[in-house]
Chains A and B, each alone.
Chain A
Amino acid sequence: MLKRSAFKVPFSTDALQANLERLEREWETYQNTRDRDGIYRYLSPLFELVEWWARDRKDIEYARRALRLQRRPPVPKIAEPFAAVIFCTADREKVDFRTRSKWSRALRYATEYKNLDEPLRDFIKRKGGINKCADRFARRLGRGGQSGSIRQNCCDPFRRSASHNRATASSGVWPVSFNSAHRLVPKSK
């Protein structure tokens, strides 16, 4: 059951640090497990974190703050929030630039197409795995893809859960399409 109250809570640097430490622990757990799907124990909370940052439209700002908190140089300039958080929380010797980029692309693909009530693991597996999702992202949303505006879509107010869409469909109203190509994007002047 959810209780409600009304006040805006600021996201402090200590809170950011606590979140990064939590992800570091998840990374350690993933490293110690032999589970085939162990990677999702790390990627799911990471996705959850950046997803709410994006909802607040502060993902880039918080990712930059996370990079600034890093004590171990050198810290490269990473513009993409998922890649930045992976850089901050995973072992740099084990996760190189290519792996980071691949995971980041897969997570951005999930940001765009995953239903809100579907677990990340189920979504990525349903789509054929991390590599396939990364490829799909590059093909459909990356540079030279069909639609490149992920920033506008990741906080999409029209994005709803699958149960909501089923309810809308059963009521006779056509559900909202998740395909970004059909979305209404405001024209830039």
Chain B
Amino acid sequence: MSKSALLKSHRDQHRKHRMTSIKIRVDKILHERIEQDYRVTRLRRNCSVAGRELIFAEVLTELESSGAAMRYLNYQGRIAWKATPQLRDYLNDLKLDAEAELKDIDV
């Protein structure tokens, strides 16, 4: 592929990306979960071809489908993401279990 064609292709990709992309706002709990999933996905794909953003979106889709993430309108009227009550409860249970175990070890 010639240099000019490559440059044109890059420009088209950039234009396409600019047309379809929107900002995704994610709360802290969900962000940590996504980062964790993202690392696992990246390792599985062995230095992925897809960009970070694409994997990020895929992970969000999976989390939403499994009922761990949900969208909502934030105070600015923009669509944002947060952890569902189900995920929050699950994490809370894990935290309580860990605290109980820690207490047992101390005793």
Listed in ascending order, the chain A residues whose CB lies under 8 Å from chain B are: 1-12, 14-15, 18-19, 21-22, 25, 48-49, 51-52, 55-56, 116-117, 157, 159-161, 163-164
Contact = CB atoms under 8 A, between A and B. Distances in A.
A132 B70 CA distance: 30
A118 B82 CA distance: 18
Q: Which of A6, A14, A22 has the most CB of B within 10 A?
A: A6
A88 to B, nearest CB: 16
A15 B81 CA distance: 13
B61 A15 contact: yes
Judged by DSSP, the binding face of A is mixed
Contacts, number: 96
Nearest to A53: B71
Contacts of A2: 25-27, 74, 80
Judged by DSSP, the binding face of B is mixed
B56 A7 contact: yes
For chain B, the bracket of interface size reads 35 or more
B23 A6 contact: yes
B37 interface: no
B71 A52 contact: yes
A160 B77 contact: yes
A21 B66 CA distance: 11
| Closest 9 pairs between A and B when the two form their complex, measured CB to CB | A14-B65, A18-B67, A7-B57, A117-B75, A15-B64, A6-B21, A161-B75, A7-B53, A2-B25
A52 B79 contact: yes
A161 to B, nearest CB: 4
